[in-house]
Amino acid sequence: MNEKVVMIFHLGEKSVDIEAPLDITANEFVLGINTGFNLGLDLNNPDENFLRAENPVALVKGEKTLAELGLRNGTSIFAPQR
């Protein structure tokens, strides 16, 4: 597919534009964000292994691709609040 989207990742009071390919799974995306931003998510715990999205509203988790979830340019992704 090779299509990419630019999304806004919100981490507390800060926000960062991130570019991601649409053909990766939600789990791969969560792993990358967790590693890149040191979120400390327990990826073995399904209750913590997701991110929240708006525009469209979605839980980013599982084996669906980002395209299947409907994520698009301008989607907001939110880090879990701790």
The confidence band for 82, taking pLDDT boundaries of 50, 70 and 90, is low
Query: pLDDT of 64-77, one tens digit each?
Result: 999 999 999 999 99
Structurally, how many domains does the chain consist of? 1
Report pLDDT for 53: 97
Report pLDDT for 2: 72
**Where residue 21 sits, what CATH number does that domain have?**
3.10.20.90
Query: pLDDT of 19-75, one tens digit each?
Result: 999 999 999 999 999 999 999 999 888 888 899 999 999 999 999 999 999 999 999
Residue-range definition of the domain harbouring residue 60: 4-78
The confidence band for 80, taking pLDDT boundaries of 50, 70 and 90, is confident
CA 19-31-15 angle, to 5 degrees, is 45
Residue 1 has pLDDT above 80, yes or no: no
CA distance 70 to 49: 19
Element (H, E) at 7: strand 4-11
